[in-house]
Structure 1
Amino acid sequence: MTTVAPAIDPKSVDWTNGMKKAPRNVAWYQATLNRVPDTALQIFREYSKIPDEKILDHIHTIRDQAWEILPYPCIGVFRFLDFPACLSPAYPEVLERVRAGETFLDLGCCFGQDIRKLVHDGAPSDNIIGVDTESRFIDLGYELFGDRERLKVHFCTGDVFAEDFLAEYRGRVDIIFLGSFLHLFSFEQQVAIVAQLDKLLRPKAGSLVFGRHMATEEKGGVLRRNALGWDLYHHSSETIKQLWDTAPDGKWDVSSTLVPYKSEGWDNGVNWQGGNDVRQQYFSAKRL
């Protein structure tokens, strides 16, 4: 049976979730970064050529500018420095395929940090696409990594719920990354997102979506209201498979791994998000 994705009016989706101001007296704002994570240090040294003594101040400057645009938790606690795509079990395959010329799309790319890691690892930048709703994050990415004149990535802005979302790329993408993206939406909205991803991916076996988000070991997904100032959907191993069962075309091999929710850059572990019941889910969905 074919499942028809619900029509979502882009105008009805508030990407700020009501958080239009940028207070600093919240649990998900960490004033200082006491230690630069190892992967981030490598990227800033080797890719961006920033001297060690300037790296920390540089990160703080860009982070605080981004916080004033939209106070996402991943910005407030320096979580963008995880470079999450490379932590996924799917990353070795992804890197090999993009190096070989396949097209990679980072949806909700923010600064494009995962894109820079791919390029640093040897992927050609001219077959990579980065998309975000906020163009100022993309501009800050160029400032953060100092590569405006040499990076060939196709960056663009767009709303995933728009009917013509990335129409020029439909059927031309091999791999899509969703980093801390799906958990921003209800299950119904995620069904609409999967339908859009299906349009973008090449209609052949092996087309891949992978990513990470907040999750739970409980049965069924949980929409936590006002979690960190946001409504966040926590997937389980079962619900991420149920989500891909709604994909309009073909069948998918879906796998997921639940791991502790942590980050090298945090000062207080998981206490900032309210407890130890939250998990991190790495998932992949490959078209059969």
Structure 2
Amino acid sequence: MAAAEVSQTVDPKSVDWTNGMKKAPRDVAWYQNTLNRVPDIAQQIFREYSGIPDDKVLDHIHRIRDQAWEILPYPCIGVFRFLDFPACLSPAYPEVLSRVTAGETFLDLGCCFGQDIRKLSYDGAPTDNILGVDTEPRFLELGYDLFDDRGRLKARFYTGDVFAEDFLIEHRGKIDIIFLGSFLHLFSFEQQKAIVAQLVKLLRPREGSLVFGRHMATEEKGGTLRRNALGWDLYHHSPDTIIRLWDTAGEGKWDVESTLVPYASEGWDNGVNWQGGSDVRQQYFSARRL
């Protein structure tokens, strides 16, 4: 497939990913008018991977961000959180980079602009065996504009619904590593069980197959908490609930590790009170097949 193509697989109809929000207001707590400082990782990638001069980067980011905001006003877009490149912040990333560099297959589920795929490429991983999936094809196209790599990035991008019976059916049993960035917390525990079942189908049925990622979390009892970002009921995992989720995976045993860190982002300047304040945590997790 040519690098600039986006493969159409499944029309995502089983979930209203917008939660009914069709407009893009800017008078909300999760829209930050300006990015006051480009995070160091992002500056390096735009300079050295994308070839965008330092003095052009800020305007470039704002232009793409505002286009994306008009498509779907997600908090990760409104507060520039896509500039975190979250996969590389995970404790599992050094292993992931080594394995992908050695030729293993990597899937970024809910990839948005494909920013973590670009970070892998920047860090030296070949992109021939890298896949990205999102429900919104316009985000995938904006990713090429954001990173100015149309025609040279070899990763394959798809649109699809993780709840569809034939989700990525052609890749079942062929994926070594799956990344879930700010993804699981959008769903109830029962929905997450269905997602895990899909992930197990995609992963190679062998020791070492890996799922890792990050999401909102709590040090207390995990559960669903109402927040005002798009009106979603966000599921805040705890160290116990992420283990309990993977206990439902079946087909063998899984070693689950997690760590809680402050919920923060380098590019924010308006705090996180709209997400629950200082009580909110972020959980990095990994689930490895034994």
Q: TM (normalized to structure 1)?
A: 0.95
CA shift, 1:153, in A, is 0.3
Tell me which residue corresponds to 2:106.
104
CA distance in 1, matches of 2:121, 2:109: 17
What's the counterpart of residue 53 of structure 1?
Answer: 55
> Is 2:13–2:161's contact at 8 Å kept on the other side of the alignment?
no
User: Would you say the 8 A contact 1:27–1:273 is kept in 2?
Assistant: no
Aligned partner of 1:82 in structure 2 is 84
Q: 1: CA distance between counterparts of 2:190 and 2:14?
A: 13
Q: Does 1:267 align with 2:269?
A: yes
The 3-state SS of whatever aligns with 1:92 is helix
Matched residue type, 1:158: G
Secondary structure of the corresponding residue to residue 267 of structure 2? coil
* Structure 1 segment 1-288 matched on structure 2, within 5 A: 11-219=13-221, 221-229=222-230, 230-288=232-290
Amino acid at match of 2:102: A
Question: Alignment RMSD, CA only?
Answer: 1.0
1:276 counterpart SS class: helix
Distance 1:133 1:209 in 2: 20
Matched residue type, 1:119:
S
- The aligned residue for residue 4 of structure 2 is none
- Displacement of 1:274: 3.5
Q: Any idea what SS the aligned residue of 1:46 has?
A: helix
Alpha-carbon contact 2:32-2:270 (below 8 Å) kept:
no
Identical aligned residues as a percent: 83
Contact 1:28 1:273 in 2 (8 A): no
Secondary structure at 2:132's aligned position in 1? strand
Q: Structure 2: where are the runs of 5+ without partners?
A: 1-11
CA distance in 2, matches of 1:81, 1:185: 23
Pairwise CA distance, 1:272: 4.0
Q: Paired residues, what number?
A: 278
Q: Deviations over 1:243-278 (max 9, x none)?
A: 000003111000000000111100023234241110
- The alpha carbon displacement at 1:14 in A equals 1.2
How big is the shift at 1:228? 2.0
**2:234 alignment partner, SS class:** strand
Deviation of 1:227 after TM superposition, in Å, equals 3.3
Q: C-alpha distance in 2, partners of 1:125/1:62?
A: 23
Q: Distance in 2 between matches of 1:122 and 1:244?
A: 31
Query: How far, CA to CA, are the matches of 1:69 and 1:213 in structure 2?
Result: 23
